[in-house]
Amino acid sequence: MVTARNADRGALVGQTAPIFTVQNTNTLRLRVAVPELYVSAGTADKEVKFRVQSNPNKSFGAQLVRKSDAIDPKNRTETWEYRFINPDNELKAGSFAYVKLNLQRGIPSFVVAPSAIATNQERKFVIAVKNGKTEWVDVRQGMSTEKGIEIFGDLNNGDTLVVRATDERKPGSDGYWRMIK
């Protein structure tokens, strides 16, 4: 399919600009810039669902064909490439897509409510309750899910965490808190 014509009949053409551009739009590539935070998580399936603005009520599916296996230092992302077969030319080359990746970790992790994570100028932490006393546990944030935010830190199964963490609740304090297990 000719997608651009840069000269008309009778025009003088040179060697600097192409006369026309031809594209084969039967197969399109969907390139997704996946943030570094998520690249170690695996995809649950090899197919991704996506939407485009030109057809907002329809969902399309594309197959994962390649991961770049390198983090781009400019934007800290890895490019994942998906193939979309486009026999009816429903989609146009160059369209922007809205993609929802179905990611999952291969290792166990903890998911907590966003309110259980406190942040101040020095650190990000959750408040654990051990032997009736509070303890700040530094955490790194992972993926956000419908159930909460994934965290990594010195935590174990069965630890009790304060639901509404704040840096006003100092380590070593005691009292009554609303807690999660």
What is residue 179's predicted lDDT score, i.e. its pLDDT?
52
What is residue 58's predicted lDDT score, i.e. its pLDDT?
92
CA distance 146 to 149: 8
For the chain, give the longest Cα–Cα distance. Answer: 89
CA distance 24 to 39: 31
Q: Say what the pTM is.
A: 0.67
Measured on CA atoms in the order 39, 43, 46, 49, is the torsion positive or negative? negative
- The domain limits of the chain are 22-104, 110-180
CATH superfamily of 22-104: Efflux pump adaptor protein, beta barrel domain (2.40.30.170)
The per-residue pLDDT string of the chain (181 residues; one tens digit each, 9 = 90 and over) reads: 777 888 888 887 877 778 877 777 889 999 999 988 888 877 767 889 999 998 889 999 999 999 999 999 999 999 999 999 998 888 988 889 999 888 877 777 899 999 999 998 889 999 998 888 888 999 998 888 888 999 998 998 888 898 888 888 888 776 455 555 4
Phi-psi region of 116 (alpha: psi -120 to 50; beta: other; left: phi over 0): alpha
CA distance 128 to 179: 9
